[in-house]
Amino acid sequence: MGIYLNNQKNVFLNLLLCLLLISNIVNATTEAEYLYLSGLDLFEKGKFEDSIEKLESAVKLEPNIAKYHHILAKSYGRQAEGSIWFKAMKLAKKTLLHLELAAELDADNIEILHDLVKYYLEAPVFLGGSSKKANKINNRIKEIHSKNQ
């Protein structure tokens, strides 16, 4: 009887731990999505610095969500447009990092791929610009379009 009670306690404790873990995961996901939506709203209102703050927090909570990285990259890019040259260079590097992460996480997302092509074509080489990379991504976009037809 004692062994049976210990097994029941272990099952109960394991179940309780699982529920707590699931609850924490759900809370983190919900919080990350809230931060993303807030960041997206701020981005659309042109408040890029505030958008970056929210989206960086979302990415820390859920680093594998492409849309979080995508809008964060766009926020960095817009912030760079209105910054002094030295700061703009740092922001451009962050833009590229998050665009490439977003494209890696969602390799079939046309909008992300278009933004990455645009970056590669517009940025100077020392900031990651590359017509060769842009052409490669454009070919990927064409493949996606042909699959979807």
Express each pLDDT in 52-99 by its tens digit: 999 999 999 999 999 999 999 999 999 999 899 999 999 999 999 999
Output the pLDDT for position 30: 85
Statement: the pTM of the whole predicted model exceeds 0.85? no
Other Cβ atoms less than 10 A from the Cβ of 63: the count is 12
Half-sphere exposure of 132 (CA within 13 A, CB side): 2
2-148 folds as 1.25.40
Q: What is the CA radius of gyration of the chain?
A: 21
Residues 42, 51: contact at Cβ < 8 Å? yes
Is residue 112 a contact partner of residue 70, using CB atoms and an 8 Å limit?
Answer: yes
Q: Is the pLDDT of residue 121 over 70?
A: yes
Question: Looking at this protein, which amino acid is placed at residue 38?
Answer: S
State yes or no: pLDDT of 12 exceeds 50: no
Residue 11 tokens read as 């099952």
